[in-house]
C-alpha cells in the first residue's frame, strides 16, 4: 500500500502548453487503466483538450461549488453502454491558481496505481477520447467534508490501495481501480466512523450503491487477462464469473448513486 500522492506541475499558460505538447509524444507512464501505447499528441488535440479545461474551469466557477466530481472520456466504451471512463475529485484551490483534481492512475504496464494531484489542463491532456466532461456537484454538507480531506495528503490517501485492477470487484479489497477509490473516499468523507476500505464498502452497501454489471464472456476474459497486468478477475465470485457477470465501479454508477441518494445534483455534460 502506498500512502503518497504525486503532483504534476501546474499549467501556467495554455498557449505555452500547446507548443510544448506539439513537440513530444504522449507519455505512457500513467494512464487510467489502459495498455501502454506511445501515441503522438497532435497540436489540434492538445488545443481542444486545453480549451475544454478552460471551459470546464469557468463552468465550475459558475456553480459556486468548492468540490465536484469530474469525469472524462478517455476510452471508447460504447460497447458497454458507458460514456465516461475515469473519475476524479476536483476542488477549488485559490492558492494553486484554480481547480485541482485528485485521482488515481494506473502505472503503465503494471498492476499498480497511484494518486495524483494536478490542474484541469493536465487532467484533460492525458487520455482523452472525447473532448467533454461530466460534472456532479455534491451537497454542501458533503463538499464541506470533502474539502479538508482533499487538501490533506495523509487523509486523502487513507483508502488508497496500490494493487490495481481495471475491473476490480466493488465488494472486495484485493484490488482497487480508479473510480472505486473515488467512491470509497466519498464514503470516508460522508461517514467519519469509517476507518478502512471494508468499512467504506459496508457503508456503501447500506446506502444502496449498485455497481455496473458488465457481460464479459470467458473468451473476452481470457483475452483481457493474458499479457495485461492491470486486468484481473480473481476477486470476482465464481458464480458471477461463470455466468459472465462482472460487477465493477463505473462513473455512471457513482453518478447514479449520488444523485439518487440525494448526496449530489444530477450530472451535467460540459463540452
pLDDT in tens, 165-188: 999 999 999 999 999 999 999 999
Average pLDDT in the 74-81 region? 92
Give the whole-angstrom CA distance, residue 127 versus residue 132.
Answer: 12
Domain that holds residue 133: 5-270
Per-residue model confidence as pLDDT tens digits over 5-41: 887 544 333 332 332 232 223 333 456 655 465 555 5
Percent of the chain's residues with pLDDT above 70: 83
The lowest-confidence range among 43-47, 97-101, 142-146 is: 43-47
- In three-state secondary structure terms, 167 is coil
Cα gap 244→105, rounded to integer Å: 27
Q: What is the number of structural domains in the chain?
A: 1
* C-alpha closest to that of 121 among 198, 173, 55: 55
Question: Could you report the per-residue pLDDT of 195-243, keeping only the tens digit for each?
Answer: 999 999 999 999 999 999 999 887 577 656 555 889 999 999 999 999 9
Amino acid at each position: 500500500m502506498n500512502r503518497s500522492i504525486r503532483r504534476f506541475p501546474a499549467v501556467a499558460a495554455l498557449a505555452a502548453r500547446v507548443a510544448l505538447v506539439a513537440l513530444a509524444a504522449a507519455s505512457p507512464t500513467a494512464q487510467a487503466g489502459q495498455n501502454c501505447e506511445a501515441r503522438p499528441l497532435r497540436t489540434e488535440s492538445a488545443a481542444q483538450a486545453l480549451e475544454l479545461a478552460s471551459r470546464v474551469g469557468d463552468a465550475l466557477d459558475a456553480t459556486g461549488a468548492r468540490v465536484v466530481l469530474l469525469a472524462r472520456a478517455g476510452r471508447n466504451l460504447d460497447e458497454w453502454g458507458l460514456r465516461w471512463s475515469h473519475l476524479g475529485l476536483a476542488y477549488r484551490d485559490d492558492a494553486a491558481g484554480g481547480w485541482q483534481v485528485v485521482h488515481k492512475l494506473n502505472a503503465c504496464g503494471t498492476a499498480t496505481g497511484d494518486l495524483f494531484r494536478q490542474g484541469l489542463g493536465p487532467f484533460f491532456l492525458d487520455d482523452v477520447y472525447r473532448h467533454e466532461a461530466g460534472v456532479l456537484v455534491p451537497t454542501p454538507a458533503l463538499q464541506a467534508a470533502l474539502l479538508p480531506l482533499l487538501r490533506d495528503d495523509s487523509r486523502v490517501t487513507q483508502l488508497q490501495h496500490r494493487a490495481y485492477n481495471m475491473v476490480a470487484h466493488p465488494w472486495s479489497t484485493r484490488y482497487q481501480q480508479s473510480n472505486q477509490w473515488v467512491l470509497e473516499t466519498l464514503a470516508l468523507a460522508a461517514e467519519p466512523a469509517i476507518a478502512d476500505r471494508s468499512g467504506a464498502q459496508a457503508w456503501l452497501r447500506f446506502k444502496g450503491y449498485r455497481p455496473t454489471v458488465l457481460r464479459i464472456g470467458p473468451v473476452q476474459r481470457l483475452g483481457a487477462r493474458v499479457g495485461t497486468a492491470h486486468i484481473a478477475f480473481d476477486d470476482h465470485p465464481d458464480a458471477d464469473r461463470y455466468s459472465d457477470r462482472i460487477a465493477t465501479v463505473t462513473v455512471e454508477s457513482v453518478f447514479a448513486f449520488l444523485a439518487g441518494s440525494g448526496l449530489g445534483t444530477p450530472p451535467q455534460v460540459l463540452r
